[in-house]
Amino acid sequence: MTPSDYIAVPLLVSGVMFFLAGSAGLLRFPDVYTRLHALTKSDNVGLGLIVAGLVVEADSWFVVGKLLFIWLLVLLAGASVANLITKGAMQRGTRMWTR
């Protein structure tokens, strides 16, 4: 392992952990709102960590720029789509889960 690997691998592994947590939330949480909450939050951070891990390993600034751009696009799309799904669910009158 090169020195940069010692920084990249923990970042990548923790990113995967966030994805795992988000997917577990998607599968186990009771309604659409809580599922979206788990999915968007953890996936945005998870992808951020994975992008950070790959940036450490990147060969050129061009690749770094592309990676950060991808993260930005996913943040934008993820947040907007979560909003649209929630709005659609509320229009259909999907009840929020209460204990």
Partner 1 sequence: MDTLNLAQWVFDSLTGTGLLWLAWMALASPQLIRAIVIFVAFGLLMALTWVRLDAVDIALAEVAIGAGLTGALLLAALAKLTAAQTEISKSDHRPRDGRAVRALRQLPAVLMFLVAAGLVYSVLSLPPVSSGLSVEVDANLGTSGVENPVTAVLLNFRGYDTLLEIFVLLLALLGVWSLGGLPPQRVAPAGPVLHTLAVVLTPVLILLAAYFLWAGVKGPGGAFQAGATLGAAGVLLQLAGWRPGPGFARVHWRLILVAGPALFILVALFTIVAGRHLLEYAPEHAGTLILLLESGATLSIGLTLAGLFFGERPDDGYDNDN
Give the binding site for partner 1 (CB under 8 A). 73, 76-77, 80, 83-84, 87
Cα–Cα dist 36/95, whole Å: 14
Tell me how far, at minimum, the Cβ of 56 lies from partner 1, in Å.
21
Q: Which is nearer to partner 1, 3 or 58 (CB)?
A: 58
Q: Specify whether the CB–CB gap between 35 and 29 falls below 8 A.
A: yes
Q: Which is nearer to partner 1, 92 or 95 (CB)?
A: 92
Q: Which is nearer to partner 1, 72 or 96 (CB)?
A: 72
